Chain A
């Protein structure tokens, strides 16, 4: 494989690392922040299930992102990824759980503008509307689950220690499910732009192990996310877990499971097909923001508790990051494309 191809792929891997450091922290942030699960355990489980989710169920959202703007040259994809990754990295530095989804969408739109390609407005509207819908749905699911759980716990006679043990186990399972959903839903952000121009060929080992070129891209991206989780996610985990709202361990479980359900639903080809088969509108398979889902769920519970405990200043800072992030990513993409084209003489589009 050409060395240049590897270098360009590194852009995607860097974005994957950023996603792991930031978005993946959402999955176990509440559990680690409330000290129910050790960071080390969380990082390992998260890494494994992110990779599985990416490889097994990552195709649906990738297709949607491809429709927004099909970057058709490796240097262009590289610039988009680096721009999105840098933007996320900058925000992560400030401990804000920002969204890789918004960063990559900003970067793709930046590529579209720079190269004069058209942006599919319909897809852009679908994606941005999920930015609004995602935290609302997560919040509503969290409110429902919180109410049900509270009622169940009121009439149970579980010892406080037994409840603690079950909650730990559930947090781990919900985290694994969340990591899987994150991998499935967000791998499009990391590797989506490379799919049309994948440098890999399909691997088939004696008809036992088959891995398509896209699958190989997803595997690489998943590993990059896992590395991000292990190396750089601790700070954001603690921000999510303890700064936004002081969560009890049971509430932490509800937050994670609500977030995971939202991500899973927006990535699940199976659910979408099922709804179609019973003449219901299919769910758009869109890479949604893990951060938005988690914040939505936490605020949902905070509202149920009377709204006094939610630290609205941090919530509003996060919301501000959502607006600034795509703009920063688009600007960096624009700049990176300019540099690649005019200084390094690279073809950024065909």
Chain B
């Protein structure tokens, strides 16, 4: 009616909702694949399967990139959510960076092949679990930002909790590495990996903080 295409607006809205949901699904799934990759790597598992999983992460990252571009195009071309548009796009970009961090970690395992001695395996798996839990909580925070703003605070609180946990685990893990009898170059190498994994939580916490601000802005 009068250039206001109601039907197509609702169709487009539904499609965009699905794309944003898909994006969050990807972030969540990448975390789970990352967890499996770490576990597979430490147990010297099937190299083909390892490569296949790294490739899977890469494909998921490309898909997330594509969705970000599509959502960006639709939001600007159709002038949707004018008051929250820039917030939503920034949020997607920062989540995309998070996926990129997972991907970077996977590549580094694949290329640099760090040598984690057996006594550190449990620590690394535990750190990875905490990181994935942190990002899972972030996914819930993101979903609640889009659909149920009153739950944002609770979910964001969980992200902060896991980030603190991860910091603690990182400190103790790094201390353990440097207290060990490994050579300095190996210590530095392992610390690099542990630090990079821990950074995922820092980024997740920053995003959760952003979301809390966006939620205040979203109030009518």
A residues sitting closer than 8 Å to B (CB atoms) are: 34-38, 40-41, 44-45, 146, 149-150, 153-155, 157-162, 164-165, 168-169, 172, 248-251
Provide the bound-state CA to CA distance between A154 and B149, in Å: 7
Closest CB in chain A relative to B128 CB, distance in Å: 32
- Cβ-defined contact, B2 with A45, below 8 A: yes
Interface residues of B in 143-173 (CB under 8 A from A): 145-150
- Cβ-defined contact, B81 with A160, below 8 A: yes
B residues sitting closer than 8 Å to A (CB atoms) are: 2-4, 6, 9-10, 13-14, 16-17, 20, 79-84, 88, 145-150, 218-220
Q: What 3 pairs between A and B have smallest CB-CB spacing?
A: A35-B82, A250-B220, A165-B13
Q: Which residues of B contact A162 (CB under 8 A)?
A: 13-14, 17
A149, A157, A172 — which one has the most chain B CB atoms within 10 A of its CB?
A157
- Cβ-defined contact, B4 with A41, below 8 A: yes
- Cβ-defined contact, B4 with A149, below 8 A: no
Q: Which residues of B contact A168 (CB under 8 A)?
A: 4, 9
- Cβ-defined contact, A146 with B2, below 8 A: no
Instruction: Name the prevailing secondary structure of the A interface residues.
Output: helix
- Cβ-defined contact, A251 with B220, below 8 A: yes
Q: Which residues of A contact B9 (CB under 8 A)?
A: 165, 168-169
Number of A-B contacts (CB under 8 A): 68
Q: Which residues of A contact B14 (CB under 8 A)?
A: 162
Q: Which residues of A contact B83 (CB under 8 A)?
A: 34, 248-249
- Cβ-defined contact, B220 with A150, below 8 A: yes
- Cβ-defined contact, B220 with A44, below 8 A: no
A37-B4, A160-B145, A248-B219 provided; 14 other pairs, C-beta below 8 A? A34-B82, A38-B3, A150-B220, A154-B149, A159-B146, A159-B147, A161-B13, A161-B17, A162-B13, A164-B81, A169-B9, A248-B83, A249-B83, A251-B220
Q: Which residues of B contact A41 (CB under 8 A)?
A: 2-4
Closest CB in chain A relative to B179 CB, distance in Å: 49
Q: Which residues of A contact B84 (CB under 8 A)?
A: 160
B220 closest partner in A (C-beta): A250
Q: Which residues of A contact B81 (CB under 8 A)?
A: 160-161, 164
Provide the bound-state CA to CA distance between A161 and B146, in Å: 8
Provide the bound-state CA to CA distance between A40 and B17, in Å: 27
Provide the bound-state CA to CA distance between A248 and B149, in Å: 16
- Cβ-defined contact, B220 with A248, below 8 A: yes
- Cβ-defined contact, A160 with B82, below 8 A: no
B79 closest partner in A (C-beta): A35
| A35-B82, A161-B81, A164-B81 known; A40 vs B220 contact (CB < 8 Å) | no
- Cβ-defined contact, B13 with A249, below 8 A: no
Q: Which residues of B contact A161 (CB under 8 A)?
A: 13, 16-17, 20, 80-81, 146
- Cβ-defined contact, A164 with B17, below 8 A: no
Provide the bound-state CA to CA distance between A172 and B3, in Å: 12
- Cβ-defined contact, A169 with B6, below 8 A: yes
Closest CB in chain A relative to B5 CB, distance in Å: 10
A38 closest partner in B (C-beta): B3
Q: Which residues of B contact A40 (CB under 8 A)?
A: 3
A248 closest partner in B (C-beta): B220
Provide the bound-state CA to CA distance between A347 and B218, in Å: 61
A35 closest partner in B (C-beta): B82
Provide the bound-state CA to CA distance between A40 and B79, in Å: 14
* A-B contacts, 22 listed (Cβ < 8 Å): A41-B3, A44-B2, A45-B2, A150-B219, A153-B220, A154-B150, A155-B150, A159-B17, A160-B147, A161-B13, A161-B17, A161-B80, A161-B81, A161-B146, A162-B13, A164-B81, A169-B6, A172-B4, A248-B218, A248-B219, A249-B82, A250-B220
